[in-house]
Amino acid sequence: MNNITERHQYILNKLHEEGNLNVINLYRHLKVSSVTIRKDLKLLEEKGLLFRTHGGATLLNPYTIDKPVNEKEKLQSSEKSKIGILAAKLIEPNDSIIIASGTTVTSFAKSIQNKKNLTVITSSLNVALELIEHPDTEVLQLGGILRKSSSSVTGPYAQNILADFSCTKLFLGVDGIDLEFGLTTTNAMEAHLNRQMIEASQKVIVLSDSTKFGKRGFGRICGLDKVDRIITDSGISEHFVVQLQNLGIEVTIV
């Protein structure tokens, strides 16, 4: 398939089927050089038909921007509520868990019924406020620099506190999940704190609505090899689910 028009049509059709494309797979299938494929993707991007990514292309803009928490909580609110309800069922008596920040994990905190001898460490002010009335739940609020857009704390003080704990589970919200770049957030300091949370946890559970897949934030948290489970909604593409499962990640769809 050496005709440029045919190649471009194939690329766009495949992109609409899968949502994401890989340069290596394209040039192997089309039997042209990787340089030719990259030129094709550049031309298609200039026409506004796709977005180039590292090693491939996607239909959706892969870059996320920071938004205030009161704006984020209105987006995909029904999906976030369902994710939170299912995630809350994973908590067991005597668990010691970490809950990061974000509107999806706040929905999760709202769904937590009073659990016997539950210990929660959190960077989120909103999560702490949701759990403060639970008589059998001990809440350790991390301290540090207050990030107003997310109503959470970041910085070295919070990171240093985490070094003294080992928890059973981390419930993590993210701004982007990319197959190559991994988990990301829009804030570099928050990304670093999230990495410390991962180090302090035996199991990493990501709570994310389907709009976050194929997206990248400014700050990289970690690669997908650190993730044990992802809970999301039915908007996620089948292709993405298969790729995640091939990486050994348990994917639960609500």
CATH number at residue 38: 1.10.10.10
Query: Where among 58, 81, 100 does a domain terminate?
Result: 58
Last residue of a domain, one of 12, 29, 58: 58
Residues 125, 226, single domain; the answer is yes
How many structural domains comprise the chain? Answer: 2
pLDDT band per the 50, 70, 90 thresholds, residue 56: confident
Judged against a pLDDT cut of 90, whether residue 60 lies above it is answered with no
Stretch 60-80: mean pLDDT, rounded? 68
Please tell me whether residues 75 and 49 are part of one structural domain.
no
Average pLDDT score over residue span 127-133: 94
**For a pLDDT cut of 70, what percent of the chain falls above it?**
93
Is 75 in the same domain as 173?
yes
pLDDT tens by residue, 192-242? 999 999 999 999 999 999 999 988 888 999 999 999 999 999 999 898 999
Same domain as 107, residue 19? no
**Residue-range definition of the domain harbouring residue 46:** 4-58
Residue 136 belongs to some domain of the structure: yes
150: domain CATH number?
Answer: 3.40.50.1360
Indicate if the pLDDT at residue 106 is higher than 80.
yes
Q: Is residue 63 domain-resident?
A: no
The reply to whether 44 and 140 lie within a common domain is no
Please tell me whether residues 48 and 85 are part of one structural domain. no
Give a yes or no: residue 110 inside a domain.
yes
Cα distances (angstroms) measured from residue 105 to each of 4, 62, 100, 152: 46, 22, 7, 12
Cα diameter, the chain:
69
- Same domain for 75 and 51: no
- pTM value is 0.76
Partners of 213 in beta bridges: 177
Task: Assess whether 45 and 79 both reside in one domain.
Answer: no
Q: Are residues 48 and 98 in the same domain?
A: no
- Burial of residue 89 (CB within 10 Å: 0-12, 13-18, 19+) is exposed
Are residues 145 and 52 part of one domain?
no
* Higher-scoring residue by pLDDT: 128, 24: 128
- Residue pair 150/128 in contact (Cβ under 8 Å)? The answer is no
The pLDDT value recorded for residue 250 is 98
Q: Do residue 52 and residue 80 come from a single domain?
A: no
Residue in the block written with tokens 């892969």: 62
- CA nearest neighbour of 197 among 68, 100, 105, 125: 100
